[in-house]
């Protein structure tokens, strides 16, 4: 593909002076409109060494209000210890711009594929991860603009030699730059592959002939202007705009999908354990799990444990017993409540990438990203396409975590309506527990059936081989706690091959 | 000091069973009250290796709602590349708990002083930084509880030997632990020094005799309970509670201090530069500054440039010219507006520590932490003691940055009232600039004199040798832009010894 590009394209000073200022003015105005419309914009600069990324980024930035954009310089992931502690996409999630702002990337997540020593398998995994990432952001309303700055091998050599001969720029030319020039043809094949794999309608690549600075600058300004304009137009012609991109991936209505009879309706909720047995088994299980925590730490594999379930189903009690003997330095409980305004300004998965446990640590979630398909569905905050999309996005995320070596356990705690009522009343009457019960809990209780329906569909769609759901019969708290500890420990043992 | 501690203290099972549960219940209730009162709590566990930090932290955590606390395990700063890129306290600012939550630290900022190879000078600098940090947080309302877990050399040896002989805990004993035991007496001297230097009324140390687990656990529970209770009591007896701690460091009223006649009133605002000269000098200055940016990058020194000034004083235009030719990968413009709810849940300086530029990078602030003593003062959001305290806190922060090698330049742009009015009217009439002017600007204009008074006091109190203010006569925009570039470049040259 790259060899087909006409690199001789150029623009004379006259034409540049006619074209550029007008584009800049339009871009300045568009930035303000995008901000008002809360549209996030992501602009990536990839390209050969010495293709002029810095200069061309400056041309783009010139008309922008500095309060509305942020430049990220992405180092090679291999340069940085920190990155080794988390799944590769985590740091990029962290960099996504909030709604209405512009994120400009000098190099980007494509580093994962373009880094010199990546194997074909690593590249394919990276392309898969990148695809889910860009798709999730695009469907959430982001405009994604990707530039590849192209120069010929000869031109690159000429530029490197020139930099090398000037004492003020000499230090910027290292072995790495020269080695790219030496392996130009091999790298070109990888770039072709990258563009083929990741050129999508929602995140297309634009090749920039970067021999001539003026031509390149104008092409970049024009592309950015056109793409933002297009999105703003779409928004003004549609009431439910980001959805427009969702296409018809799934055609059924939310919650209107019929499937196998509810698994939650057919549970044996009478399962229980006598207290005497519980008190004998609990400490042993806790100690065993503590030992397994150290095993995880030694092999540096992270673990994610999710707790979902209706109010008063006993999530808090299970978490308490699960963590009671753990080393507090190696786990973290993350309660999930309604997002704050900064979180709301990002994709709904953003905050969970942020709280992902470090390698060797355990992240315990008291409610989680599944709120998207539970409370947000029942309350109508997320609907239609958003909801249908969420299942796939969540599976993709958990798949990435799993590929990184993460052990994932997900519990749905199920107590029936009678038992819930009994616990609500108990909380109301016990002064030490009163704080646990609010009006909202009573309101949620009226929607029990809707929550169950949502939970059923959630488990159907997100029980995967790498991250299966475990339903915990929770009418008897003692049974629930023991089961949670047993399943957690057993999953770790299986994953680490411990017997 | 340590040698005076009676390490034989213990508690029998009976008494523990009587005392601990009651303390736990009280602590659980206190956590809820502290949350409601939005009081942040910081609990530090320092102590000898094998003194039982993990177990004792667990005893403390047991009664707590996991949704309301977070455990931080602080690694040695020397273990981590990332930390080398920022002033040492930055990562600790990032870990401060938001209002109403509890941050529990296994090791802490005292690592900076206790790390084996620190020199006496490093330790003294660390104590100074720690003092400003803890004082700022305490005055902002945080309860700070610091435990040192103490065991004898013999007891430590016994524990290490026991761990070493058990296959499941053997891996936890490394050279480091044994070396501490070997150098026990020398380390004890450093610990004594640390406690002497950093034992403050607002952040006192509690020594825990940690030979006996039950004694230690109960003492920790009792201390935490008492300290939180005390703060909540103070709050309920005072209308302006965090202030109670401020003491009488400064006795004058806000803004009521009389000092030398306003420096802003005596400026020669007629200073100007002909456009022809401007257009000749600007590109040269920009190129020179770009070269200096590379110099900063090479020696890995960060630079902070602050812009303050009334509306329409030309901050945006100056920033644009300052950055126009810079490498966009090496600077970041941070606009400061009203804090969002997450930022508001922390100390007002928290967000600025977060955006501090990496070593070798330039952080440019369009308004800044000085908002505390400008807009917040004029609008009455911060008053009385808060305001008086702010000058010192800001000086401390800038001093820490400067000690780390940061080059700090601060500009106050001063245009007079007539010129401001002219610009406001121009903005109102020009469709491309209309968005720049809001009703708020007009309201602020009515408070021009109050802002000037605040700016005067600010410059008097925060012009330091390491971070002086530069007043820029800004009636003529061209003069202002040239002066900003000249002063910025000159400051870098002086700091790096370039001629």
Highest-pLDDT range among A74-83, A332-341, B413-422: B413-422
Which residue range(s) make up the domain with B385?
275-496
Asked whether residue B257 is domain-assigned, the answer is no
Query: Looking at the structure, do residues B68 and B173 belong to the same domain, yes or no?
Result: yes
Report which of residues B465 and A215 the model is more confident about.
A215
- Token representation of residue A145: 């603009």
Determine the pLDDT at residue A188.
92
Separation between Cα atoms, residue A361 and residue A364, nearest integer Å: 10
User: Of A225, A246, A267, which one is at a domain's C-terminal end?
Assistant: A246
Separation between Cα atoms, residue A230 and residue A224, nearest integer Å: 10
Distance of CA A61 to the CA centre of its chain: 27
Q: Can you say whether the dihedral through the CA atoms of A497, A291, A302, A304 is positive or negative?
A: positive
Q: How far is B261 from chain A (nearest CA, A)?
A: 35
- B66 and A294 within 8 Å at the Cβ level: the answer is no
The DSSP line for A115-128 is STT--HHHHHHHHH
Helices (H) and strands (E) in chain B, counts: 19, 10
Separation between Cα atoms, residue A333 and residue A338, nearest integer Å: 16
Distance of CA B234 to the CA centre of its chain: 25
Q: Name the residue among B311, B322, B319, B235 with its Cα closest to residue B286.
A: B322
CB B352 within 8 A of CB B368: yes
Query: Closest to A66 (Cβ–Cβ): which among B28, B65, B333?
Result: B333
Q: What is the dihedral of CA A202, A205, A206, A209, to 10 degrees?
A: 180
Determine the pLDDT at residue A434.
83
Separation between Cα atoms, residue A38 and residue B342, nearest integer Å: 19
- B340 and A335 within 8 Å at the Cβ level: the answer is no
Separation between Cα atoms, residue B337 and residue B341, nearest integer Å: 12
Residue B189: count of CB within 10 angstroms of its CB: 10
Determine the pLDDT at residue A462.
93
Which residue is closest to A325 within chain B, CA to CA?
B58
Query: What does each of the 499 residues of chain B score in pLDDT, given as a tens digit?
Result: 788 788 888 999 999 999 999 999 999 999 999 999 999 999 999 999 999 999 999 999 989 988 889 999 888 765 555 566 888 898 899 899 999 999 999 999 998 888 766 788 888 888 989 999 999 999 889 999 999 999 999 999 999 999 999 887 888 888 889 999 999 999 999 999 899 889 999 999 999 999 999 999 999 999 999 999 999 999 887 654 444 333 333 334 344 444 444 678 778 898 999 999 999 999 999 999 999 999 999 999 999 999 999 999 999 999 999 999 999 889 999 999 888 888 888 999 999 998 999 999 999 999 999 999 999 999 888 777 888 889 989 999 999 999 999 999 999 999 999 999 999 999 988 887 888 888 888 898 999 999 999 999 999 889 998 999 999 999 999 999 999 999 999 999 999 999 8
- A29 and B432 within 8 Å at the Cβ level: the answer is yes
Predicted confidence band of residue A256 (pLDDT cuts 50, 70, 90) = very low
SS3 call for B496: helix
Predicted confidence band of residue A329 (pLDDT cuts 50, 70, 90) = confident
Query: Looking at the structure, do residues B211 and B112 belong to the same domain, yes or no?
Result: yes
User: Of B195, B228, B246, which one is at a domain's C-terminal end?
Assistant: B246
Separation between Cα atoms, residue A112 and residue B120, nearest integer Å: 44
Asked whether residue B262 is domain-assigned, the answer is no
Predicted confidence band of residue A367 (pLDDT cuts 50, 70, 90) = very high
CB B290 within 8 A of CB B327: yes
Q: How far is A301 from chain B (nearest CA, A)?
A: 17
CB A58 within 8 A of CB B325: yes
- List Cβ neighbours of A166 (8 Å cut-off, separation of 6 or more): none
- List Cβ neighbours of B298 (8 Å cut-off, separation of 6 or more): A171, B360
**Vertex A159 angle, CA A157 and A165, to 5°:** 100
- Token representation of residue A317: 């009690």
Query: Closest to A54 (Cβ–Cβ): which among B327, B340, B341?
Result: B327
Task: Please compute the mean of the pLDDT values over residues A352-367 and round it to a whole number.
Answer: 94
Separation between Cα atoms, residue A365 and residue A397, nearest integer Å: 15
For chain B, the distance separating the N- and C-terminal CA atoms, rounded to the nearest angstrom, is: 53
Query: Looking at the structure, do residues A319 and A280 belong to the same domain, yes or no?
Result: yes
Report phi then psi at B309, rounded to 5.
Answer: 155, 160
Q: Which residues, in sequence order, are bridge partners of residue B412?
A: B308, B471
- Cα dist from A487 to A262, A295, A482, A484, whole Å: 23, 16, 9, 5
**Vertex B415 angle, CA B414 and B419, to 5°:** 175
Determine the pLDDT at residue A81.
54
CB A487 within 8 A of CB A409: yes
- List Cβ neighbours of B417 (8 Å cut-off, separation of 6 or more): B445, B448
For residue A356, what is the domain's CATH number?
3.40.50.300
CB B149 within 8 A of CB B56: yes
- Token representation of residue A13: 């000073």
Query: Looking at the structure, do residues B155 and B300 belong to the same domain, yes or no?
Result: no
* Residues of chain A with C-beta less than 8 angstroms from the C-beta of B286: none
Which residue is closest to B167 within chain A, CA to CA?
A291
Q: How far is A333 from chain B (nearest CA, A)?
A: 6
Separation between Cα atoms, residue A271 and residue B462, nearest integer Å: 68
**Vertex A69 angle, CA A66 and A71, to 5°:** 105
- Token representation of residue A301: 């594999």
- What's the predicted TM-score (pTM) here? 0.79
The H or E element containing residue B411 is: strand B407-414
Distance of CA B441 to the CA centre of its chain: 30
Report which of residues B64 and A239 the model is more confident about.
B64
Instruction: Find tokens 């297309």 and name the residue.
Output: A204
Beta strands B331-335 and B407-414 are unpaired
Query: Looking at the structure, do residues A240 and A330 belong to the same domain, yes or no?
Result: no
Determine the pLDDT at residue B247.
32
Report phi then psi at A448, rounded to 5.
Answer: -45, -45
CB B420 within 8 A of CB B313: yes
For A464-494, what is each residue's pLDDT tens digit? 989 999 999 999 999 999 999 999 999 999 9
Separation between Cα atoms, residue A133 and residue A393, nearest integer Å: 9
Separation between Cα atoms, residue A106 and residue A54, nearest integer Å: 8
* Residues of chain B with C-beta less than 8 angstroms from the C-beta of A329: 54, 57, 71, 73, 106
- Per-residue b or e along B393-424, where b marks 16 or more CB atoms closer than 10 Å to that residue's CB: bbbbbbbbbbebebbbbbbbbbbbeebbeebb
**Residue A357 DSSP one-character state:** P
Separation between Cα atoms, residue B40 and residue B62, nearest integer Å: 19
Instruction: Find tokens 């929607």 and name the residue.
Output: A447
- B168 and A104 within 8 Å at the Cβ level: the answer is no
Predicted confidence band of residue A238 (pLDDT cuts 50, 70, 90) = low
Determine the pLDDT at residue A391.
92
CB A318 within 8 A of CB A312: no
Q: How far is A255 from chain B (nearest CA, A)?
A: 31
Relative orientation angle of helices B275-299 and B315-323, to the nearest 10 degrees: 60
The DSSP line for A23-88 is HHHHHHHHHHHHHHTT--EEEEEEE-TTS-HHHHHHHHHTTS-GGGEEEEE---GGG-GGGGGS-T
Length of chain A in terms of residues written: 499
Query: Looking at the structure, do residues A182 and A307 belong to the same domain, yes or no?
Result: no
For A269-314, what is each residue's pLDDT tens digit? 989 999 999 999 999 999 999 999 999 999 999 999 999 999 999 9
SS3 call for B102: strand
Asked whether residue A119 is domain-assigned, the answer is yes
Most A-contacting residue of B327, B340, B358 (CB-CB within 10 A), to test interface? B327
| pLDDT at residue A353 greater than cutoff 90 | yes
Q: Which residues, in sequence order, are bridge partners of residue B41?
A: B102, B143
SS3 call for A417: helix
Asked whether residue A254 is domain-assigned, the answer is no
Asked whether residue B264 is domain-assigned, the answer is no
Instruction: Find tokens 């819930």 and name the residue.
Output: A420
- Cα dist from B1 to A21, A346, B146, B188, B380, whole Å: 72, 52, 16, 9, 46
Separation between Cα atoms, residue B83 and residue B75, nearest integer Å: 10
Separation between Cα atoms, residue A359 and residue A96, nearest integer Å: 22
Q: Name the residue among A339, A336, A356 with its Cα closest to residue A348.
A: A339
Determine the pLDDT at residue A116.
61
Query: Looking at the structure, do residues B308 and B167 belong to the same domain, yes or no?
Result: no
Query: Closest to A67 (Cβ–Cβ): which among B80, B335, B432?
Result: B335
| pLDDT at residue A104 greater than cutoff 70 | yes
Separation between Cα atoms, residue B167 and residue B449, nearest integer Å: 73
**Vertex A94 angle, CA A89 and A95, to 5°:** 100
Query: Looking at the structure, do residues A240 and A294 belong to the same domain, yes or no?
Result: no
* Residues of chain A with C-beta less than 8 angstroms from the C-beta of B329: 54, 57, 71, 73, 106
- A66 and B320 within 8 Å at the Cβ level: the answer is yes
Mean per-residue pLDDT over chain A, rounded: 89
Query: Looking at the structure, do residues B192 and B301 belong to the same domain, yes or no?
Result: no
Asked whether residue A467 is domain-assigned, the answer is yes
SS3 call for A411: strand
Query: Looking at the structure, do residues A222 and A315 belong to the same domain, yes or no?
Result: no
Q: Which residues, in sequence order, are bridge partners of residue A69?
A: A102
CB A80 within 8 A of CB B81: yes
Query: Looking at the structure, do residues B83 and B130 belong to the same domain, yes or no?
Result: yes
Which residue is closest to B66 within chain A, CA to CA?
A333
Query: Looking at the structure, do residues B144 and B229 belong to the same domain, yes or no?
Result: yes
**Pairs of CB atoms within 8 A across A/B:** 105
**Residue A361 DSSP one-character state:** -
Q: Percent of chain A scored above 90 by pLDDT?
A: 66
Asked whether residue B260 is domain-assigned, the answer is no
Most A-contacting residue of B52, B333, B336, B366 (CB-CB within 10 A), to test interface? B333
**Structural domain total, chain B:** 2
Residue A52: count of CB within 10 angstroms of its CB: 22
Asked whether residue B127 is domain-assigned, the answer is yes
The H or E element containing residue B309 is: strand B303-309
**Residue B171 DSSP one-character state:** G
């Amino acid at each position: 593909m790259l060899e087909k590009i006409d690199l001789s394209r150029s623009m004379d000073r006259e034409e540049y002076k006619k074209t550029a200022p007008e584009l800049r003015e339009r871009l300045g105005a568009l930035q303000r409109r995008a901000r008002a419309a809360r549209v996030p914009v992501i602009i990536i600069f990839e390209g050969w060494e010495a293709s002029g990324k810095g200069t061309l980024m400056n041309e783009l930035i010139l008309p922008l209000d500095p309060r509305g954009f942020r430049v990220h310089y992405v180092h090679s992931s291999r340069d940085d210890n920190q990155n080794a502690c988390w799944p590769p996409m985590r740091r990029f999630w962290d960099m996504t711009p909030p709604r209405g702002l512009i994120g400009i990337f000098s190099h980007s997540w494509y580093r994962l594929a373009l880094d010199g020593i990546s194997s074909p398998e690593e590249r394919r995994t990276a392309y898969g991860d990148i695809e889910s990432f860009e798709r999730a952001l695009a469907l959430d309303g982001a405009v994604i603009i990707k530039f590849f700055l192209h120069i010929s091998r000869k031109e690159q050599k000429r530029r490197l030699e020139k930099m090398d001969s000037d004492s003020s720029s000499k230090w910027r030319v290292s072995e790495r730059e020269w080695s790219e020039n030496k392996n130009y043809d091999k790298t070109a094949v990888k770039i072709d592959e990258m563009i083929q794999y990741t050129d999508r309608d929602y995140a297309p690549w634009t090749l920039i002939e970067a021999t001539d600075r003026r031509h390149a600058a104008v092409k970049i300004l024009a592309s950015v202007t056109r793409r933002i304009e297009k999105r703003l137009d779409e928004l003004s012609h549609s009431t439910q705009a980001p959805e427009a991109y969702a296409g018809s991936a799934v055609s059924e209505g939310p919650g209107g999908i019929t499937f196998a009879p509810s698994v939650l309706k057919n549970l044996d909720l009478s399962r229980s354990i006598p207290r005497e047995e519980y008190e004998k088994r609990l400490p042993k299980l806790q100690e065993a799990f503590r030992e397994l925590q150290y095993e995880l730490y030694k092999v540096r594999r992270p673990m994610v444990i999710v707790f979902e379930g209706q109010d008063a189903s006993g999530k808090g009690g299970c978490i308490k017993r699960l963590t009671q003997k753990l080393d507090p330095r190696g786990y973290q409980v993350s309660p999930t409540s309604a997002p704050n305004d900064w979180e709301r300004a990002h994709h709904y998965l953003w905050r969970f990438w942020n709280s992902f446990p470090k390698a060797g640590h355990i992240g315990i979630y008291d409610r989680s990203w599944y709120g998207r398909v539970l409370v947000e569905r029942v309350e109508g905050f997320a609907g239609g396409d958003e909801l249908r999309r969420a299942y796939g996005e969540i599976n993709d995320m958990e798949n990435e975590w799993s590929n990184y070596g993460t052990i994932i356990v997900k519990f749905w705690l199920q107590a029936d309506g009678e038992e819930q009522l009994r616990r609500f009343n108990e909380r109301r009457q016990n002064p030490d527990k009163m704080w646990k019960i609010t009006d909202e809990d009573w309101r949620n209780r009226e929607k029990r059936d809707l929550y169950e329906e949502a939970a059923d569909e959630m488990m159907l769609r997100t029980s995967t081989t790498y991250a299966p759901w475990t339903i915990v019969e929770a009418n008897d708290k003692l049974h629930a706690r023991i089961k949670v500890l047993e399943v957690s420990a057993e999953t770790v043992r299986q994953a680490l091959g411990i017997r």
